[in-house]
A and B are shown apart, each in its own frame.
Chain A
Amino acid sequence: MWFFYVTGILLFLSFLSDRSKTKKALLIAYQRFIFISPSFLVMLIFVSILLFIFPQEKIIMYLNYGKYMVNIILAALVGSVTIMPGFVAFPLAGILKNSGISYTIIAAFTTTLMMVGTLTFPIEAAYFGKKVTLIRNAVSFVIALIVALLIGIYFGEVII
């Protein structure tokens, strides 16, 4: 909510000091919004379908079985294709922790969740182009795996 107030106050101050500049600012805001809204709507549509097909809470529960390294990669892949706001993801991570899932797997999941955006690809590509978006997300994926492994080493779960 603070976001809303800050915007309101700044807009008001801007309006007091220079009307035509404020008008221009609102026009820019409108144009930028229109530029991105189709990709945006398509992303939300995919997310709404995906969340119906795969309820994430269940998928991640299954990650506790099977080979460890495979599970880390799987958790990273699930995190990459999922979109979840932080206020849902971290309580979920807390629940997973309490149900005995290792820090390594949780880190692989939450870090890719934050850093890699498969569903936001069309939006990012609209600004950066497909190639750069692909490079950036692939790099982020690798960084997330490194983070997960180092967290695993720190907590003594991954033994070198």
Chain B
Amino acid sequence: MKDQKKKNTKKNTNRNIYFIIILIYFIFVFYAYIFGIPSGIEIGNNLISFLSYMIKILPCAFILIGLFEVWVPREKVERHLGYEGGFRGYIWGIILAGTMGGGLLVALPVSSALYHKGARLSVIFTFLGASAIVRIPMTLFEASFLGFEFTAIRWLVSIPLIVLTSIFLEKYLVKQNFSIK
């Protein structure tokens, strides 16, 4: 009970800090636009370009997550990505990561959704790590600029390391009652 209360106040201070940062920032950028301060305008333009890029991707990503939660039965996730999945779970995790768009910012809410549907932690960490390194469109881009060999070595080295560290991380966290929000 006390713990819960402590957690809530902590969460609130976090929210307040965020709120203050956001407020100061927007006041600054607002003044910059009015008085024509070049640095502030450039910062504001940076934000606008990011926001417009994100707004194209994020709503779709969250809608897909919502559809996933409603339509995909828990048993299916457990069978392929859970403890019953065995080693193939990691391969599924990597394939899922490779074919998904949007990078970490999409992969994070997806991992949370997978977790609540019964995927095991090591598969989730593999998925998360893989989403950073094996995304197919990005990889094609990389190979075209840096050469096929460069990409091949990167895959061959990083994928086994990610699976391995994910397994260790799970072993460590299972003892600690860890859960994903």
Contact = CB atoms under 8 A, between A and B. Distances in A.
A144 to B, nearest CB: 8
A22 to B, nearest CB: 7
Given A45-B25, A47-B50, A151-B153, A86 B141 contact: yes
Nearest to A139: B165
Nearest to A10: B67
Interface stretch (B77-85, B88-96, B144-152): B144-152
A147 B153 contact: yes
B111 A32 contact: no
B47 A52 contact: no
A56 B105 CA distance: 21
Contacts of A41: 18, 22
Contact of B158 (A32, A91, A143): A143
Contact of A52 (B43, B138, B162): B43
Interface stretch (A23-31, A59-67, A69-77): A23-31
Interface secondary structure of B, over-half rule: helix
B42 interface: yes
B64 A10 contact: yes
A3 B57 contact: yes
A140 B153 contact: no
Size bracket of the A interface: 35 or more
Interface residues of B, number: 66
B150 A29 contact: no
Contact of A136 (B15, B58, B128): B128
Interface of B: 15, 18-19, 21-22, 25, 39, 42-44, 46-47, 50-51, 53-54, 56-67, 69-71, 101-102, 104-105, 108-109, 111-112, 125, 128-129, 132-133, 135, 137-138, 141-142, 144-146, 149-150, 153-154, 157-158, 161-162, 165, 169, 173, 178, 180-181
- 8 tightest A-B contacts by CB? A29-B66, A94-B145, A25-B66, A48-B46, A7-B60, A28-B66, A48-B47, A29-B62
Given A26-B66, A111-B154, A127-B108, 19 more contacts: A3-B61, A7-B63, A11-B67, A14-B67, A25-B63, A29-B59, A33-B62, A38-B18, A39-B18, A40-B54, A49-B46, A86-B138, A86-B141, A124-B108, A127-B180, A132-B169, A132-B173, A147-B153, A150-B157
Interface of A: 3-4, 6-7, 10-11, 14, 21-22, 24-30, 32-33, 35-36, 38-42, 44-45, 47-49, 51-52, 85-87, 90-91, 93-94, 97, 103, 106-107, 110-111, 114-115, 117, 120, 123-124, 126-129, 132, 135-136, 139-140, 143-144, 146-147, 150-151, 154
